[in-house]
């Protein structure tokens, strides 16, 4: 046999796609037999001749014993061809030894190349290759050991942590693949990654992956801010002003005063420290809103903004104040927008509720009732559904239902009045603002029962932002602008930037710039709200895990066949359950917790 063979006789041994094959018929095309016994028609260029044969059966290609290292040492530094290599290693040149010699070439430890020209690898290359192979073998043993420890629940945190990095990356949403989950025949989803990390104890149940999974920042911003500008401000410190919030609120951004027939809504003057296109403004635009999580908020703005501007955090607070002139019926007849100084007293809703029989709270409440009545008459949608406050302190979860206090109505109605007044002010003075509108639901029903309101909530259409005003069906307002929370909503900050620019006679953002800001905000705010919902659900499940014997009541708000959906007010949780019998909607159902799946955000209950 020579190093170059040009004929392909019947019975010859050839290589086809890294496997041996035997030529059964030759011509313009070859018929070859494969190791499994099947035959195939191929072109001559698709195969590589290894031995002219004759080879009777592919099964005869069993590996012989040979002197591989001796042949390698003898050929050191040179080249050879397949027949010579077979002769030197195995003492004979047959289809069997030719295939075995070719396997040595494909193995690549001692030899490499083609059948016609085989290079002999140097001693240094062989040593390096052996070391690399040993390392890979060790890695494979370690990998198999890791997978076995996962299956048996005997994970070694110190040893196995690196293997779980791709699982963590998938759980965080940083990748879509995980070699670990694939090797374990588990779906490669963030939920399955989360479940595995919990199963093996690598993640504590208190790890909340949702903000990062949705691409949201989880660290507070740190952009530098200028000092508060030295500018004229209307002194309103003689008026009692009250910032009424939930207990524990960290970013008080509005307060109320009443001065005869003028209602003042004082709002943190954020635009004084965060003008358009500054570093803090650009960062806030990317965040869209403060991310409120049960274990603590991730603010939209640097902490310094709240420290300087938060209502009532200093003896005197700088504000952008909206003065709403009211007629005898409590309707707004005029509005003034002015930078101001205010002296604010902070109160909780419960504290304000206890003062509603006293002035000025009684008058504020009368205004709120009158305004709420007008909104209802205009078709406002009011949903009296359960709300809870979820907090986490040192790992312990607290879920506290929020009672429907009248003091909440006072604040809500004042903020809606201010939003409508600011929109009217903007139209009168040709100030481009992001108006908020909402299409009406597909029904005119305004149910008062829990099941009806639950259904109506799902029929509500999302609010929209535009530089053009439009009706806000949910609020029952002809036009509306969100303007009272610039510490925590970016588009509220844009409203303040525009108003301050107008008051100073500075250039305004045009409609294109406004539209760009609306688009940037809408691109991220949906993820912010989703992360908040998922984090609330996560911590609610932690609460149930901390109370494994939980029992409580739910209200039947939907039913189909023998199943139904219940709303659990004390948890603000919806659950599908098997409902025995045929109870009517709004029936009270006693529930017992069965199980919790933290990774999929599911809780399972049965009717007691």
DSSP string, 246-281: -TT-S---EEEEEETTEEEEEEE-GGGTS-TTSHHH
Q: Is the pLDDT of residue 2 over 80?
A: no
Q: Can you tell me the distance from the alpha carbon of 50 to that of 117, in angstroms, rounded to the nearest whole number?
A: 12
Question: Can you say how many angstroms the Cα of residue 46 is from the centroid of all Cα atoms in its chain?
Answer: 50
Q: Does residue 462 sit in the same domain as residue 377?
A: yes
Residue 221 located in a structural domain:
no
Q: Does residue 571 sit in the same domain as residue 530?
A: no
The angle formed by the CA atoms of residues 326, 341 and 256, to the nearest 5 degrees, is 40
Q: Is the pLDDT of residue 581 over 90?
A: no
Q: What is the pLDDT of residue 158?
A: 82
Number of C-alpha atoms within 13 angstroms, CB side, residue 19?
A: 11
Q: Does residue 116 sit in the same domain as residue 178?
A: no
Residue 387 located in a structural domain:
yes
Can you name the residues that pair with 338 across neighbouring β-strands? 321
pLDDT bucket at 438, cuts 50 / 70 / 90 = very high
Q: Can you tell me the distance from the alpha carbon of 412 to that of 439, in angstroms, rounded to the nearest whole number?
A: 21
* Beta carbons within 8 Å of 321's beta carbon, 6+ residues apart: 234, 236, 264, 265, 266, 267, 336, 337, 338, 339, 340, 342
Q: Does residue 244 sit in the same domain as residue 393?
A: yes
The mean pLDDT of 153-160, rounded to a whole number, is 86
Q: Does residue 486 sit in the same domain as residue 345?
A: yes
pLDDT bucket at 445, cuts 50 / 70 / 90 = confident
User: CB of 568 within 8 A of CB of 540?
Assistant: no
Q: Is the pLDDT of residue 269 over 70?
A: yes
**Among candidate residues 121, 151, 166, the one where a domain is terminated:** 121
Within 483-510, residue ranges assigned H as helices are 490-504
User: CB of 501 within 8 A of CB of 428?
Assistant: no
Q: Does residue 107 sit in the same domain as residue 160?
A: no
pLDDT bucket at 4, cuts 50 / 70 / 90 = very low
97-120 pLDDT, tens digit per residue, is: 999 999 999 999 999 999 999 999
**Among candidate residues 516, 538, 560, the one where a domain is terminated:** 538
The mean pLDDT of 157-177, rounded to a whole number, is 93
Q: Does residue 554 sit in the same domain as residue 602?
A: yes
The mean pLDDT of 358-372, rounded to a whole number, is 96
Q: Can you tell me the distance from the alpha carbon of 223 to that of 42, in angstroms, rounded to the nearest whole number?
A: 68
Residue 226 located in a structural domain:
no
Q: Is the pLDDT of residue 5 over 80?
A: no
* Beta carbons within 8 Å of 584's beta carbon, 6+ residues apart: 556
Q: What is the pLDDT of residue 101?
A: 96
Q: What is the pLDDT of residue 562?
A: 84
Neighbouring CB atoms inside 10 A of 110's CB total 22
pLDDT bucket at 138, cuts 50 / 70 / 90 = very high
Structure tokens at 410: 């006072």
Q: What is the pLDDT of residue 456?
A: 93
The mean pLDDT of 207-225, rounded to a whole number, is 96
* Beta carbons within 8 Å of 495's beta carbon, 6+ residues apart: 422, 433, 434, 481, 482, 483, 486
Q: Is the pLDDT of residue 254 over 70?
A: yes
Burial class of 101 by CB neighbour count within 10 A (0 to 12, 13 to 18, 19+):
buried
Q: Is the pLDDT of residue 533 over 90?
A: yes
Q: Is the pLDDT of residue 313 over 80?
A: yes
Q: Is the pLDDT of residue 546 over 60?
A: yes
Q: Is the pLDDT of residue 3 over 70?
A: no
For the chain, what is the mean pLDDT?
94
Q: What is the pLDDT of residue 28?
A: 87
Q: Can you tell me the distance from the alpha carbon of 237 to that of 247, in angstroms, rounded to the nearest whole number?
A: 24
User: CB of 474 within 8 A of CB of 381?
Assistant: yes
User: CB of 26 within 8 A of CB of 9?
Assistant: yes
By C-alpha distance, which of 39, 43, 38, 51 is closest to 26? 43
Q: Does residue 163 sit in the same domain as residue 261?
A: no
Number of C-alpha atoms within 13 angstroms, CB side, residue 367?
A: 33
Please provide residue 35's backbone torsions phi and psi, each rounded to the nearest 5 degrees. -55, -25
Q: Can you tell me the distance from the alpha carbon of 435 to that of 30, in angstroms, rounded to the nearest whole number?
A: 76
Residue 6 located in a structural domain:
no
State the CATH number of the domain containing residue 169: 1.10.10.10
Please provide residue 396's backbone torsions phi and psi, each rounded to the nearest 5 degrees. -90, 130
Q: What percent of the chain is predicted at pLDDT more than 70?
A: 99
Residue 89 located in a structural domain:
yes
Q: Does residue 394 sit in the same domain as residue 432?
A: yes
Within 153-201, residue ranges assigned H as helices are 157-160, 165-172, 179-183, 190-199
Residue 366 located in a structural domain:
yes
**Tally of structural domains, the chain:** 4
The mean pLDDT of 265-274, rounded to a whole number, is 98
State the CATH number of the domain containing residue 563: 2.40.50.140
In the 8-state DSSP scheme, what is residue 215?
Answer: T
Q: Name the residue range of residue 552's domain.
A: 547-607
pLDDT bucket at 73, cuts 50 / 70 / 90 = very high
In the 8-state DSSP scheme, what is residue 608?
Answer: -
Q: What is the pLDDT of residue 8?
A: 87
Q: Does residue 289 sit in the same domain as residue 422?
A: yes
Residue 222 located in a structural domain:
no
Q: Does residue 552 sit in the same domain as residue 534?
A: no
Question: Reduced to 3 states, what is the DSSP secondary structure of residue 170?
Answer: helix
Question: Reduced to 3 states, what is the DSSP secondary structure of residue 426?
Answer: helix
Residue 1 located in a structural domain:
no
Q: Is the pLDDT of residue 314 over 60?
A: yes
Q: What is the pLDDT of residue 206?
A: 94
User: CB of 40 within 8 A of CB of 48?
Assistant: no
Q: Does residue 353 sit in the same domain as residue 445?
A: yes
Confidence (pTM)? 0.85
* Beta carbons within 8 Å of 435's beta carbon, 6+ residues apart: 423, 465, 466, 467, 468, 469, 470, 479, 480, 481
């Amino acid at each position: 046999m020579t190093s170059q063979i040009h004929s392909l006789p019947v019975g010859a041994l050839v290589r086809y796609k890294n496997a041996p094959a035997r030529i059964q018929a030759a011509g313009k095309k070859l018929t070859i037999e494969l190791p499994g016994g099947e035959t195939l028609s191929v072109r001559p260029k698709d195969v590589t001749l290894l031995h002219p044969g004759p080879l009777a059966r592919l099964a005869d290609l069993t590996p012989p014993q040979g002197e591989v290292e001796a042949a390698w040492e003898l050929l050191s530094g040179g080249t050879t061809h397949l027949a010579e290599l077979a002769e030197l290693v195995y003492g004979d040149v047959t289809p069997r030894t030719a295939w075995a010699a070719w396997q040595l070439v494909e193995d690549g430890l001692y030899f490499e190349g083609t059948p016609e020209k085989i290079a002999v690898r140097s001693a240094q290359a062989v040593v390096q290759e052996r070391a690399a192979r040993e390392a890979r073998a060790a890695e494979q043993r370690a990998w198999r050991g890791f997978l076995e420890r996962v299956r048996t629940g005997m994970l070694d945190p110190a040893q196995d942590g690196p293997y779980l990095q791709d699982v963590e990356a998938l759980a965080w949403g940083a990748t879509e693949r995980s070699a670990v989950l694939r090797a374990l025949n588990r779906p490669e989803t963030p939920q399955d990654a989360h479940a595995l990390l919990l199963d093996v104890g690598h993640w504590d149940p208190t790890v909340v992956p949702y903000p990062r999974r949705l691409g949201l920042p989880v660290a507070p911003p740190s952009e530098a801010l200028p000092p508060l500008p030295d500018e004229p401000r209307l002194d309103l410190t003689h008026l009692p002003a009250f910032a009424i919030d939930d207990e524990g609120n960290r970013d008080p951004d509005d307060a109320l005063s009443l001065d005869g027939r003028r209602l003042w809504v004082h709002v943190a003057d954020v635009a004084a420290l965060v003008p358009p296109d500054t570093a803090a403004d650009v960062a806030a635009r990317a965040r869209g809103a403060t991310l409120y999580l049960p274990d603590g908020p991730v603010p939209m703005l640097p902490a310094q903004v709240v420290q300087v501007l938060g209502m009532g955090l200093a003896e005197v607070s700088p504000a952008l104040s909206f003065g709403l002139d009211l007629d005898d019926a409590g309707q707004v007849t005029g509005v003034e927008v002015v930078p101001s100084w205010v002296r604010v007293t902070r109160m909780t809703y419960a504290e304000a509720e206890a003062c509603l029989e006293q002035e000025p709270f009684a008058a504020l409440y009368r205004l709120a009732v009158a305004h709420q009545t007008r909104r209802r008459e205009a078709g406002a949608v009011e949903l009296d559904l359960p709300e809870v406050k979820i907090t986490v302190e040192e790992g312990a979860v607290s879920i506290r239902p929020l009672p429907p206090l009248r003091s909440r109505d006072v604040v809500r109605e004042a903020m809606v009045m201010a939003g409508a007044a600011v929109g009217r002010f903007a139209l009168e003075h040709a100030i481009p603002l992001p108006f908020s509108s909402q299409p009406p639901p597909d029904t005119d029903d305004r149910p008062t029962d829990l099941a009806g309101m639950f259904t109506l909530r799902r029929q509500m259409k999302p609010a929209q932002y535009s530089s053009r005003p439009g009706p806000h069906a949910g609020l029952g307002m002809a036009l509306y602008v969100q303007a009272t929370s610039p510490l925590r909503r970016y588009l509220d900050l844009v409203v303040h930037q525009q108003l301050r620019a107008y008051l100073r006679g500075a250039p305004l953002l045009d409609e294109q710039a406004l539209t760009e800001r609306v688009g940037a905000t809408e691109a991220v705010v949906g993820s912010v709200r989703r992360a908040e919902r998922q984090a609330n659900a996560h911590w609610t499940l932690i609460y149930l895990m901390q109370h494994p014997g939980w029992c409580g009541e739910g209200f039947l708000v939907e039913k189909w066949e023998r199943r139904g959906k219940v709303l659990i007010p004390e948890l603000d949780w919806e659950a599908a359950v098997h409902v025995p019998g045929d109870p009517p909607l709004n029936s009270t159902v006693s529930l017992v917790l069965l199980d919790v799946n933290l990774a999929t955000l599911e809780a399972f209950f049965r009717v007691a």
